[in-house]
Copies of this chain bind each other. A is one copy, B any other.
């Protein structure tokens, strides 16, 4: 099988490395990346057999194409190359926002291939192929948002491949639910981390006073500014909604501190504790379910 990965940053690069681990002797992995040094590095490391800065022959021969591009770059790439994909190729998108992407690429859908939209819930603070690791996908969530034109057997093929790569849970959902949930679990968390980091008034001295909580909450404040500005803009209305929800809860807590209302404070702490424990419990339960799903090789329907 011929596999192409487009964009060898952390996401695409991690796919290259993960696929390298599980590939069969007859499989070959190719890379397309605007940066020649990255391609050379990937080839010299034995991860790809051949790379191109701009597609010349790779897409025409690839049975599976994994796109490691930002939403905007994804649109530009499809527009330029929509007719170059091999007949019946499967293309897997991995970008972070779905509704606007669908709208943007509406007229650039490769007619002869099957483009499947997906989103791995994993990443790294640092950028580039050097920081890519197949292990970032181990036990991670993967979200698939199939559209009507997708072939059932291709979705099943991708689900199997993702589990083989090591993803912990593949969920099939709609672009709308994806975007709403991601605004909460991913964009809001990044907004909070950035604001927390920027509200530090002490800078050089802070490090002496931190525990794990501050380290954990600010880790993602080291952020890829162009990618995240794009994601924030493209998921703007859902993000503004969850920002409001968070502010409401934060204000409840602030009011309790202000009024020295210990009873409410304890109630809020108990609620969050119960919820955080439930998150872990459902994580465990879903992992049990997953085992069954993997055996049956069936789709793991969420909606």
Contact = CB atoms under 8 A, between A and B. Distances in A.
Interface of A: 121-123, 125, 140-141, 143, 169, 171, 173, 178, 181-182, 184-186, 188-214, 216-226, 228-229, 232-233, 236, 239-240, 242-243, 245-250, 252-254, 257-258, 260, 262, 265-266, 268-273, 275-279, 282-283, 286, 302
B272 A194 contact: yes
Contacts of A242: 199
A226 B214 CA distance: 21
Given A193-B213, A204-B282, A232 B181 contact: no
Nearest first, the 7 closest Cβ-Cβ pairs linking A and B are A121-B211, A225-B269, A222-B276, A195-B250, A181-B209, A195-B249, A221-B272
B194 A211 contact: no
A214 B184 CA distance: 9
Contacts of A140: 211
B185 A211 contact: yes
Given A232-B265, A272-B221, A245 B286 contact: no
A223 B273 contact: yes
Nearest to A300: B208
A121 B178 CA distance: 37
A290 B222 CA distance: 26
Given A194-B253, A221-B273, A243-B250, 5 more contacts: A181-B206, A184-B209, A186-B214, A196-B249, A199-B250
Contacts of A229: 262, 265-266, 269
B208 A246 contact: no
Contacts of A121: 209-211
A193 B217 contact: yes
B248 A194 contact: no
Given A196-B192, A272-B221, A208 B169 contact: yes
A249 B169 CA distance: 35
B232 A257 contact: yes
A208 B269 contact: no
A143 B265 contact: no
Given A209-B143, A222-B273, A262 B282 contact: no
Contacts of A185: 206, 209-211, 213-214
A298 to B, nearest CB: 16
A218 B181 contact: no
A178 B206 CA distance: 11
